[in-house]
Amino acid sequence: MTKFDIKTPSGFPEFTPAQERMRHHWIAVIQRVFEQYGFGPVTTPLVEREENLLGKGGNPKEMYVLKRLHDEAGDTSHSGNALRFDHTVPLALYVARHRNEIAFPFKRYSIGPVFRGERAQKGRFRQFDQCDIDIVGMESLDIKNDALVVAVMVQIFEQLNIGDFIIRINNRKLLIGFFEELLGITDAEEVKAIMDVFDDLEKTKKTDITKRLVALGLKEDDIGKIYGFLEGGDFAALAEGCEENSLFLQGWNELSTVFISLKQMGVNPKRYKHDFSIVRGLDYYTGSVYETNLVNYPELGSICSGGRYEDLASVFTQKNMPGVGISIGLTRLLWQLFDAEILKPVEMSSASYMIIPMDDSEETVAHAYTVARVLREKGAGVDLYLEDGKMKKKFAYAEKLKIPNVVVIGEDEVKENCFVVKEMETGEQKVVKL
Amino acid sequence: MTKFDIKTPSGFPEFTPAQERMRHHWIAVIQRVFEQYGFGPVTTPLVEREENLLGKGGNPKEMYVLKRLHDEAGDTSHSGNALRFDHTVPLALYVARHRNEIAFPFKRYSIGPVFRGERAQKGRFRQFDQCDIDIVGMESLDIKNDALVVAVMVQIFEQLNIGDFIIRINNRKLLIGFFEELLGITDAEEVKAIMDVFDDLEKTKKTDITKRLVALGLKEDDIGKIYGFLEGGDFAALAEGCEENSLFLQGWNELSTVFISLKQMGVNPKRYKHDFSIVRGLDYYTGSVYETNLVNYPELGSICSGGRYEDLASVFTQKNMPGVGISIGLTRLLWQLFDAEILKPVEMSSASYMIIPMDDSEETVAHAYTVARVLREKGAGVDLYLEDGKMKKKFAYAEKLKIPNVVVIGEDEVKENCFVVKEMETGEQKVVKL
């Protein structure tokens, strides 16, 4: 037996060939829609300077730094670098590095792995793919862009055919304004502390949330009002107390613009809704916030989230760059869908034709090559079985890969200069003349 | 000024938006051809167990291991992991891990980054993309597969339109047999030492090569014969002394099969040739070896290399798995082509249409959304300029991105329910009714 432990390291998942094919199909769909909406690819290095990652929100407890296994004396050129933990900090660095080569508003997508040294547990990974789009403005960015990124994601999830989903939209200015008005809190830190508690509402018992809010100094009466608000209480009644609050009004105008734009864009109104309870814990969101759920599988949590931020890159450049972005947690989502058997991938090959020469004679094999070439020139994916052996073994290969059409090449096909396509599901055969 | 050094770390390159678009196009072509030939995607983690990488050829001096920046006391679950340095060791682990889910011969491709902690220098990177295909057999693998991987690469480079290229093919059995016969050396280590010297022939002065060979104990006379051989001397004269050598004959038969197969496959004969001087230093190649050059840019070195190996994974599994693979060094190749201005990317957007609303009125913007939707439904990439501002600024955006068609939406278009496409290169305009 081998002395090696061949498993992947804990928290670093990989997929089977069939799962990988599905992942690949998903990425193709995601990428195609991103590009149809004018987003271009950006691939930053997986490794950035440690201080740049830490300077913009990196959690030192989860950050992986690189060391060379055997470092030569005095060679420090490999030190101080770490693996990226998201696509946003690299985006901030990218726009700072390439400001003059970029046309703003900059619409970019990034699809690829990020790394977080979390405790490994079921469905939580240390390397996982994120699919991000962002629109970054120079000095300003129209709020209509906050609708555009939602339209993109609706398009993607509809094309991926994963059943009912809904993107829930809120606005943090609206929320902060409300808290200010209702509780008289104007200190941003205090508001943030309260919002962080509410961000846990979906995964925590209400009694625990209440306890934490009381600990922050809130009255039970006010807490009741907030629950009413977050659970979608009557908006008119709510707005009554807030209409003088400028932050509340600004948030309301932004949210209205997003909803009007989505309607004008022709986005299916079943796919999005306003939800007061969406808070999004991350500090840098300042306006629109999004979360997405599968209606029939709420237990999966949010599969696609994001929001508007006022300040992408001020730590790296003096320019003011607001932006809006949204991201699909691809690895986590696929892993969950496979694990819950919501998706059951079976297809293993990109080929729609499997060509099997019956014997090893020069004429048969040459004819098989010709047939493969002709089919590929028509754009089809073609696999060719070149091993010696029994026909049974050759068919077993096509069967295992679930290739839908099999073409067996023998003496007859060579003589007639033709080939016979057998559709495996129906058993139907069709003769094609060359 | 910012206190951060925002440059990418040394040896970790990134491309401009226009270069990135070209890279993206290349990957799409490479991937499409791989799939057309029945190769399926495999994405292994970027991180593997350190001992597994070291157990199969990993160079500890170039290996990056991961450490957490702040490790919690007693948490060792993050230790002992390192970044992959190629796609071959992960492939060996993948087939060992997923043996039962795989149909053999296993045709897989991997496109993605690998990491080597080399000294950073111009055109040498510490992170770079490799595009690999391999065909892995279970217990055996027909030699015709050694032609198939060449056919795939010819197809790719023809589609990429990078001018004349040639894949040079040799066989290590043929070479070893020749050395045995000519020099009477049967010790594999000695033969290898000599072949390693010849592997440097293209990048080293001949006098230095001669010195090293003399140091290995070779006679000047024999060295002369070898030069004659490697430089494509008369094969008949050469083979005369070797025809009894079983390794030489086996190599000759394999090479013949590869060339007959390439001809039968209809591969353009200008794209490949036999070259006795191709050695390939890597230990694990045992038969066919390949290197590829751009005919007009020999100074770029080999842009695509590979070969046949008898033993992919014996350190990880008891099964015997021979294979054949070939790989494009994508980052290095693109970087060189950009640097030498052989490729000059200008296109920056995936969009073929840019839609510009003339004003911010609800009707104009709504009409712009409708036009965008109609064009996207036809499959086009459409960018939409949503910022307020002067027309000049809006056109400058389309101009900078080099989007070929611009559609301006104003009152007239709304009234007539139409749009006007302006082709930027010719200035031609076309009215389209909705």
Indicate which of B27, B330, B387 best probes the interface with A, i.e. most A CBs within 10 Å of its own CB: B387
Are both B305 and B387 inside the same structural domain?
no
Report chain A residues whose CB lies below 8 A from the CB of B119. 77
ipTM value for the complex: 0.93
pLDDT in tens, B263-286: 999 999 999 999 888 887 667 899
Cα angle A127, B349, B294; round to 5: 80
Of A181-190, A398-407, B75-84, the range with the lowest mean pLDDT is: A181-190
A141 vs B: CB within 8 A: yes
Q: Is B181 found in the same domain as B36? A: yes
Hey, which residues 154-183 in chain A have their CB within 8 Å of chain B? none
How big is the CA angle at B31 (ends B25 and B37), to the nearest 5 degrees? Answer: 140
**Shortest Cα distance from A187 to chain B (angstroms)?**
28
Q: Which residue has the tokens 């490799």?
A: B130
CB contact under 8 A, B142 and A373: no
* Mutation target among B383, B388, B390, B401 for the A interface, most CBs of A within 10 A: B383
The verdict on A83 touching B (C-beta cutoff 8 Å) is: yes
B314 and B391 assigned to the same domain: no
Claim to verify: residue A331 and residue A364 sit in the same structural domain: no
Domain check: are B302 and B357 in the same one? no
Q: Do residues B342 and B297 make contact, with C-beta atoms less than 8 angstroms apart?
A: yes
Burial group, residue A163, by CB count within 10 angstroms (0-12, 13-18, 19+): exposed
* Residue of A3, A5, A7, A8 to mutate, interface with B, max B Cβ within 10 Å: A8
User: Closest-CA residue in chain B for A64?
Assistant: B68
In angstroms, the CA B351 to CA B73 distance is 52
Interface touch B18/A101, C-beta < 8 Å: yes
* Strand bridging mode B47-49 / A323-329: unpaired
CA–CA gap between residue A8 and residue B52 (Å, rounded): 10
Q: Which of B155, B149, B150, B152 is nearest to B168 (CA)?
A: B150
B245 shares a domain with B365: no
User: What pLDDT, in 10s, does the model give residues A181-210?
Assistant: 877 887 777 877 887 887 777 778 888 888
Nearest chain A residue to B55, by CA: A4
Q: Which of A264, A348, A359 to mutate to test binding with chain B, by most B CBs within 10 Å of its CB?
A: A264
Q: Which residue has the higher pLDDT, B353 or A3?
A: B353
* C-alpha–C-alpha distance, residues A330 and A131, integer Å: 7
pLDDT band at A161 (very low <50, low <70, confident <90, very high): confident
Chain B residue closest in CA terms to A78 = B117
**Residues in chain A closer than 8 A to B349 (CB atoms):** 38, 40
> Among positive and negative, which fits the CA dihedral A18, A41, B346, B426?
positive
Arithmetic mean of pLDDT, A354-380:
96
Domain boundary among A278, A311, A339: A339
Three-state SS for A47-76 is EEEHHHHHCCCCCCCCCEEEEECCCCCCCC
Decide if pLDDT at B5 tops 90. yes
Does residue A55 have a pLDDT over 70? Answer: yes
Domain hosting A408: range is 353-433
Residue A409, pLDDT > 60, answer yes
The DSSP string of A2-58 is -SS--SPPTT-----HHHHHHHHHHHHHHHHHHHHTT-EE----SEEEHHHHHTTT-
Write out chain A residues lying below 8 Å of B117, CB-based. 68, 78
Q: Are residues B122 and B226 in the same domain?
A: yes
- In percent, the amount of chain B with pLDDT more than 90 equals 70
DSSP state of B270: G
CATH of the domain at B33: 3.30.930.10
Write the residue in B41, B105, B351 that is nearest to A21 by C-beta: B41
CA distance B354 to chain A (A): 9
- pLDDT higher at B78 or B101: B101
Burial class (CB within 10 angstroms; exposed 0-12, middle 13-18, buried 19+) of A140: middle
Report the pLDDT value the prediction gives residue A2, as an integer from 0 to 100: 58
Higher pLDDT, B203 or B32: B32
pLDDT of residue B226: 79
Same domain, B250 and B393: no
Domain match, A259 and A181 both: yes
CATH label of the domain that carries residue A370: 3.40.50.800
pLDDT at B235: 66
Task: List, as ranges, residues 299-328 from A with C-beta within 8 Å of B.
Answer: 315-318
User: Hey, which residues does B288 pair with through a beta bridge?
Assistant: B171
- Tell me the pLDDT tens digit for each residue of B271-326: 999 988 888 766 789 999 999 999 999 989 999 999 999 999 888 988 899 999 99
3-state secondary structure of A126: coil
- CA distance to B27, B54, B90, B97, per residue, from B111 (Å): 8, 22, 12, 20
Task: Identify whether residues B160 and B306 lie together within a single domain.
Answer: yes
Question: Is A91:A136 a contact under the CB 8 Å cutoff?
Answer: yes
Percent of chain A with pLDDT over 70: 97
Domain's final residue, options A339, A371, A394: A339
- For chain A, give the mean pLDDT: 91
- The arrangement of strands across the sheet holding B304-309 comes to B40-41, B106-115, B127-136, B323-329, B304-309, B285-294, B165-171, B272-274
> Average pLDDT, stretch B347-366?
95
Whether the predicted pLDDT of A1 surpasses 60: no
Residue B232 has pLDDT above 70, yes or no: no
Q: Is A389 on the interface with B (CB under 8 A)?
A: no
Model confidence at B233, in pLDDT bands (50, 70, 90)? low
> In this prediction, what percent of chain B has a pLDDT beyond 70?
97
pLDDT band with cut points at 50, 70 and 90 for residue A431: very high
Q: Is A109 helix (H, G, I), strand (E, B) or coil?
A: strand
Mean predicted confidence (pLDDT) in A314-332: 94
In terms of CA atoms, which chain A residue is nearest residue B10?
A: A77
The total number of residues written for chain B in this structure? 434
| Residues near B414 by beta carbon (within 8 Å), at least 6 away in sequence | B363, B364, B367
> What number is the average pLDDT over the span A268-273?
97
Q: Is B158 exposed, middle or buried (0-12, 13-18, 19+ CB in 10 A)?
A: middle
Residue A122: inside a domain, yes or no? Answer: yes
- Of the partner residues B113, B137, B397, the one whose CB lies closest to the CB of residue A46: B113
User: Per residue in B184-200, pLDDT tens?
Assistant: 887 777 877 887 887 77
Question: Same structural domain for residues A256 and A133?
Answer: yes
Q: What is the mean pLDDT of chain B?
A: 91
Number of structural domains (chain B) is 2
Q: What is the pLDDT of residues A234-259, one digit of tens each?
A: 666 767 778 788 999 999 999 999 99
B357 and B224 share a domain?
A: no
Instruction: Identify the domain boundary among A316, A339, A362.
Output: A339
In the stretch 199-218 of chain B, residues with CB closer than 8 A to chain A read none
Cα gap B184→B167, rounded to integer Å:
31
Q: What pLDDT, on the 0 to 100 scale, is given for residue B424?
A: 93
Least confident interval from A123-127, A351-355, B415-419: A123-127
Residues of B (252-291) whose Cβ lies below 8 Å from A: 260-261, 264-266
